[in-house]
Structure 1
Amino acid sequence: MNKTYLALLLAMTFGLTACGSSSSDDTPVETPDEVTDGSGGSDDGSSDGGNEEATIYGPYSTGSTSAPVAVYFDLDTQTQLTLTDEEAATDTAWDIGFKRTNVFLNTHQDTPVSFYFTGNNSDFYDDTGAPVSDLFLNATADSELDDYLAVTESDIPEAEAFSTDTETQVIGDTFYNYDFTTHVVTPNEETYYIVFSDSNYTKFHVTDIVTEGRGIGEITLGVMHQSVLDGQTTFAEEVTLTVDAVGCSDAVYVDFDMQQVVTQTDGWDLSIPCADGAGEFALTIADDATALRTDAQTYNGVDTEAAQYYGFSEETVSEYAMSTNNWYFYDSTSHLLYSQFGVYLIQAGDTTYKFQITSYYDEEGTSGAYSFRADPLSGE
């Protein structure tokens, strides 16, 4: 398993209780990585890309947890672009964007912007893949400058080593396995989903599927409910819920609070579309629900105060390339995010850039304010 992903899992497991907030009434916190020379307001950057190597750009504010905003940056001109989210959805000038803890790439260019992690800081993790906290907490933009400067054009890998952002479904087709040789469908019992709906949390997985023609005749869920409204802080024991879709003429609906099949007019949480008298191989959450794909061990319950940091999302989500080697470490004592000072390569058009996040905080300690280095390594 990827080491940085392990660090993120550990952060989630320890309970993220206070990181990430930058509202006007935030309590000031110590800034873990001080911004060095070359930093400043959001107007920083050279219009001709001629700044000295390792210049730090930022801090650029991405708003608060309750009111996040996206920052769009053009690596070619080394400037922030003022765009609405609607404009950015079709704009081809920006290369990399930031929104709270997420860092994302522009996939709307002729060739989508892509990403590669150099693995420069493997010593930040021990032999088991666990983060070495002291290394993260003591690292600074100055102490990790040499790592950044050491990356040159010779470190650019083949094109297939780069990856880009994609869109996917939280549940999608991940709840079953299909054998292309035998054409047998089996449940993917190892994958779990946590759904937040009607102020409560429900963790479930699919334990059995009986096919009906090319569809689902019967599907069995293992459901673990956490009624926040009743004061529960952990998931209850697993309950078996079997849903019959044979002969259906409309979608079948499930209410997790009641743990039973209901009608469309009831407060349903999960639905199975219907076609040709059987369920389709799709599970859909309610429009006002959010979900998280996980495993059996990671969560015994959801900490409601930290839930906003777990990664709950709408049904269709963006898979960010950087999330496979995420940029931060969460310290459960200070509740701060510390950059791992990873050096990433970003291909945008004909140019490959190196990139390193130096801080997530401004000089007042307000979170969501990115500072970073970015320099071209090759290109026209």
Structure 2
Amino acid sequence: MTRNISRLAAIAGVAALTACTTDNVVSPSRLQDEGSITVIATSAWQFVSLADSALVTPTPSPNASTAWDIAFLGTNVTLNGGDAGPGGVTAACLCQNASATNDQVLAMTAESEFADFDTVTAVPPGLSFVSDALTPAIVGWHAGSGAAATADTTKTWLLRLSDSTSFAALRVKAIATPTATHAGSVTLEYRLQTTSGSALPAPQQIVINAGATGGARVDLNTGTITTDDAAWDLHVQGFTIRVNGGISGSGKAGAATTATAFADLTTAVTNASAYRIDTYAGVFGSQRYYRYNILGDHRISPTFDVYFLRRGSDTYKLQVTGYYSATGAARHITFRWAKLD
């Protein structure tokens, strides 16, 4: 049986659980001790407690709650440990399909790969468990570190802004007076595209003090530094640039890398699935559960690798088996899991 889970409001909303048939009604917050679960993670993080077999709403916030073990939003997976939360959850990947060809991955199904999951009864020796760390969508914007840091002007990002209707091309133009702990004066150069069909205009610049207490938030639509907790696009602090999306903010901002030079771009709009959000990631970031765009259609193709999650004395095995609903809707993440003895 597959059970579909959705958040009816945002993170703090009401959890609902719908069985695969209308005459098989289950508790609204209860999953199952093991089996196949579909989490509908289209617009908000979905938090699951494996220990309680339940979809949960972390309070007062996800990074201050021990109530959850694993969370999903789109292709992003976060565990309650490390930078992400106080739960102490770590993970490792068996990655038995790491060397599979793309054709082999495309041929895999939940049924054909069940044996790989079912036959795992213990964690193999030698696997390294790691916790999650902050993974910004914008990385690699400076070369060197500390006081020797310089701007990498060859890197360009396509931004979807926090309002989800405006876009921009971005690069870091210059870094001045960096220190061991922050990038000093950071010059951002961007080309603002107010709608997806508009032309990409000439560049604008804004200078940010990355060493300011609490960093500095930037609203690219107005070209200003803002103190508004909601209406911002980029947050520059230390040697980190965050976007107003994912774990960093309530907006819809995201960033996509591009091989096209900043000056040569004609649009900042790209496929929606290419925009990355800030997340916390560990094993699921470095050893992803899928391959992307194998056939050039931007599809997510699960690799059916087996992962291990450990929390205290409890260890679980987990295998992602799908990303789409029966009608083809994305972000319907299906996974099976079981607790190991």
**Alignment TM-score, normalising by the size of structure 1:** 0.59
1:211 aligned residue: 177
For 2:92, which of 109, 116, 141 is the aligned residue?
Answer: 116
Q: Does 1:325 align with 2:287?
A: yes
Tell me if the contact between 2:321 and 2:334 (Cα under 8 Å) persists in the aligned partners. Answer: yes
Cα distance in 2 for partners of 1:330, 1:282 equals 26
For structure 2, the 5+ residue unaligned runs are 1-5, 7-19
For 2:75, which of 91, 101, 117 is the aligned residue?
Answer: 101
Cα distance in 2 for partners of 1:242, 1:369 equals 39
Tell me if the contact between 2:130 and 2:282 (Cα under 8 Å) persists in the aligned partners. Answer: no
Secondary structure of 1:153 counterpart: coil
Give the 3 Å change call, closer, same or farther, for CA 154–336 of structure 1 in structure 2: closer
1:356 aligned residue: 319
Tell me if the contact between 1:119 and 1:343 (Cα under 8 Å) persists in the aligned partners. Answer: yes
From the CA coordinates, give the structure whose radius of gyration is larger: 1
2:35 alignment partner AA: I
Cα distance in 2 for partners of 1:212, 1:122 equals 40
Q: 1:257-306 deviations in whole A, cap 9, x for unaligned?
A: 69xx76869x9866878xxxxxx8776778867242635459964446x4
Cα distance in 2 for partners of 1:348, 1:253 equals 36
- Measured on the aligned residues, the alpha-carbon RMSD in Å equals 4.8
Q: 1:20-72 deviations in whole A, cap 9, x for unaligned?
A: xx9xxxxxxxxxxxx9xxxx9785524xxxxxxxx6322x3425x35x46141
Cα distance, 1:91 vs structure 2: 4.3
Aligned length: 298
2:76 alignment partner AA: N
2:15 aligned residue: none
1:290 aligned residue: 253
2:159 alignment partner AA: V
Q: 1:188-221 deviations in whole A, cap 9, x for unaligned?
A: 3354343333633222222433328998786554
2:49 alignment partner AA: F
Q: Provide the identity percentage.
A: 24
Cα distance, 1:163 vs structure 2: 1.8
Aligned pairs for 1:294-305 within 5 A: 294=257, 296-297=259-260, 301-303=267-269
Cα distance in 1 for partners of 2:259, 2:119 equals 41
Which is helix-richer, 1 or 2? 1
Tell me if the contact between 2:137 and 2:242 (Cα under 8 Å) persists in the aligned partners. Answer: no
Cα distance in 2 for partners of 1:253, 1:87 equals 24
Q: 1:298-336 deviations in whole A, cap 9, x for unaligned?
A: 9964446x42x23443xx643354122222234557765
Q: 1:83-125 deviations in whole A, cap 9, x for unaligned?
A: 2243673443532233443332122776611111122112333
Give the 3 Å change call, closer, same or farther, for CA 211–156 of structure 1 in structure 2: same
**Alignment TM-score, normalising by the size of structure 2:** 0.64
Cα distance, 1:243 vs structure 2: 4.6
1:163 alignment partner AA: V
2:56 aligned residue: 83
Secondary structure of 1:136 counterpart: helix
Give the 3 Å change call, closer, same or farther, for CA 176–119 of structure 1 in structure 2: same
1:146 alignment partner AA: A
